[in-house]
Amino acid sequence: MEKLIARYKKNCFKSNKDILIKKLAIQTFGNVSQRINENLFVIKPSGINLKKIKSRDLVIIEINSGKKIKSNLKPSSDTETHRILYKKFPKIKGIAHAHPVFLTSWAQTGKSIPNLGTTHSDYWHKNIPITDNLKSKEIIKNYEYNTGKAILRTLQKKKLNPDNCPGILSIFHGAFAWGKSSDEAVKNLEAMEFIAELAFYTTIIGNKKKISKKLIEKHFFRKHGKKRYYGQ
């Protein structure tokens, strides 16, 4: 078990570095986590400079209780958001959160990101959704937990699941993405930011014609459908 945990910590540590390398976050912003098993995940410590710690310093959290396991460091302030997503969706193995420029700009408008082309459709079948506003009492108490609950409500309301929606905007905040590992979660966040940038410029230039439903479905299902043929 110790070797398994050490391996997951190394993977997660690399993923946290990757969001900086890929310019998805600045300074100590952003956090990535990795599921270890059905009741444990590892996450970046809060507000930490990654150059000053080792992978062993990442914090382990119990999914069911939210308790910290044997660590002197505080976990990311967004830990509760990660935890509630892991608890609800056993298939999620990694989660990445950051405030990249284009995704955060969309989040600050309160708008979802419309599906305007095939690049978007390669990852998201529909618009990239955005959560509703939190109520004052949800902000004052258990803010991060309620942020996770808002994500769950949005997915349920729009009848989406993590398989056909690998990320979401958190209103006025930033973005959360997930995948089958911490590495895939970061890659989905990276793709999400690229799509957000494309949508920004497309709306500025002006799109007189809309992408057809058939073209959206062709690109999404050739990569994610039962008869998918994209990739090796």
Spell out the domains of the chain, with CATH numbers in brackets: 2-207 (3.40.225.10)
Confirm if 94 and 34 have CB atoms less than 8 A apart.
Answer: yes
Residue 123 is a catalytic residue: no
pLDDT at position 19, please?
Answer: 95
pLDDT at position 127, please?
Answer: 94
Of these residues, 8, 86, 122, 163, which one is catalytic? Answer: 122
* Percentage, residues of the chain above pLDDT 90: 77
Question: Which residues are registered as beta bridge partners of 32?
Answer: 96
> By mean pLDDT, which of 14-23, 35-44, 46-55, 73-82 is the weakest?
46-55
The neighbour count for residue 107, using CB atoms within 10 Å, is 24
Is the predicted pLDDT of residue 178 greater than 80, yes or no? yes
Averaged over 49-75, what is the pLDDT? 90
At 42, the pLDDT band (50, 70, 90 cuts) reads: very high
Residue 122 is a catalytic residue: yes
Query: In one letter, which amino acid is 23?
Result: K
Is the predicted pLDDT of residue 216 greater than 80, yes or no? yes
* DSSP 3-state of 35: strand
Predicted TM-score of the model (pTM) = 0.93
Is the predicted pLDDT of residue 171 greater than 80, yes or no? yes
At 232, the pLDDT band (50, 70, 90 cuts) reads: confident
What's the Cα-to-Cα distance from 194 to each of 20, 95, 122, 188, rounded to whole Å? 15, 18, 12, 10
How long a stretch of residues is the chain?
232
CA distance 220 to 49: 38
Of these residues, 132, 163, 201, 230, which one is catalytic? Answer: 230
**Tokens for 203?**
């709306």
Give the pLDDT confidence of 10-40 residue by residue, as tens digits: 999 999 999 999 999 989 899 999 999 999 9
Q: What is the mean pLDDT of the chain?
A: 93
Give the pLDDT confidence of 88-107 residue by residue, as tens digits: 999 999 999 999 999 999 99
Query: In one letter, which amino acid is 218?
Result: K
* DSSP 3-state of 77: coil
